[in-house]
Copies of this chain bind each other. A is one copy, B any other.
Amino acid sequence: MSETRKRLKPTIVDVAKLAGTSIATVSRTLSGSSYPVSEATRLNVTKAAEQLGYTPNLIGKMLKTNQSQTIGVLIPSFQNAFYIQIIHGITKTATALGYTVLTFSSQRDVQQERTIINQMLQKQILGLMIASVDTSSSTISHYIENGGRACIFESNFKDSHRFILAKTDMVESGRLAMNYLIEMGHSNIAIITTPLSKQSRRNTIKGCRYAMVDHGLEFTDEDIIIAPFERELDDGLYEFEVGRDLVDLLINRVKKYTAILAVNDLIACGIIKGLKKYGLSVPQDISVMGMDDIPLSSMISPTLSTVHMPSYTLGQKACQLMVDAMKEKEKRYGVALSIRPELVERESVKKLSR
């Protein structure tokens, strides 16, 4: 009884012993190597492995090969359907390409974001797809310098050329939404937004401005109502509540608006709710327009007119790019992907007759 190995998980050594071959042969058979192995031994090994209930230990492999075929996805929140859609897209293509994806949420916490990225690096996850809340690119730079490839969906730091950029065109999105409202006869339009700390937000506003200017309409900072703070609620209602509560502010303005444009659907839904409190109904009394096109938007009443962000597609395409980048030895710089948003006309905007 001296030969009894620890009754723990069997390794290739055990398989080799049982099959009566070398561990190299076992490895070659079981790891899908292209190395030639005779049919006879292959069968033998497979059988032995099965008999022992052998499960390969990827850690061993990873340590040796220094690659994990894994992509880490880091988003600010699981509550936001926009990110969830991106993840969906990523996961689907990644899986198809033989990659595993790990999903993390930073809960909009910069410190946590940094920690997670560093942990990914430590775990040799050399592919990172991220919607960042950081204002500095140093963590990601560090990540890249250590051999990682990064794809950025959102960020607040100046875009460097060291990673893949995959964004929805927010300027276009703002312009699209605003144009639509204008074409529907609106000219007194309020914009409701969370703080402009994120570049994407600023871009959206920029797009709105362009549209107004294009139509020769007046548009001042007064017309932009900014939520006083940003945070992450555990129940995912934050933005909804922002919209709902900012209605109070809006309603007391001297200037009367015929339409409200929210920088995302969740806020827009909150606005509709808030307006109900005042007995105002959408779109009869006032029109509301969102941005993102999350599932919720077609569930509420009235259904929300919005701008569809092809986030699912974005996730897919970005992931493809990512995998390409991970496979290449050399880093490609300045790869960029921009997805054009589309207008979705539903019930929450009324056509004004002039």
Give the contacts of A96-138 with B (CB-CB under 8 A).
100, 102-105, 112, 118-119, 121-124
**Interface check A257, CB cutoff 8 A:** no
Q: Which of A68, A298, A299, A300 has the most CB of B within 10 A?
A: A299
- Checking B8, B102, B142, B312 against A102 with a beta-carbon cut-off of 8 angstroms, the contacting residue is B102
B240 and A55 form a contact (CB under 8 A): no
A77 to chain B, nearest CB (A): 9
For the complex, give the distance between the alpha carbons of A235 and B62 in Å: 35
For the complex, give the distance between the alpha carbons of A55 and B9 in Å: 30
**Interface check A91, CB cutoff 8 A:** yes
A299 and B269 form a contact (CB under 8 A): yes
A63 and B55 form a contact (CB under 8 A): no
A301 and B299 form a contact (CB under 8 A): no
Q: For the complex, count residues of A whose C-beta is within 8 A of B.
A: 53
Give the contacts of A233-288 with B (CB-CB under 8 A).
234-237, 240, 269-270, 273, 276
B147 and A8 form a contact (CB under 8 A): yes
A272 to chain B, nearest CB (A): 8
**Interface check A219, CB cutoff 8 A:** no
Q: Which of A63, A240, A269, A276 has the most CB of B within 10 A?
A: A63
Interchain residue pairs with CB less than 8 A apart (18): A53-B142, A55-B122, A55-B146, A56-B122, A57-B63, A57-B122, A57-B124, A63-B63, A78-B78, A79-B84, A79-B295, A102-B103, A103-B103, A240-B295, A273-B299, A296-B299, A300-B301, A301-B301
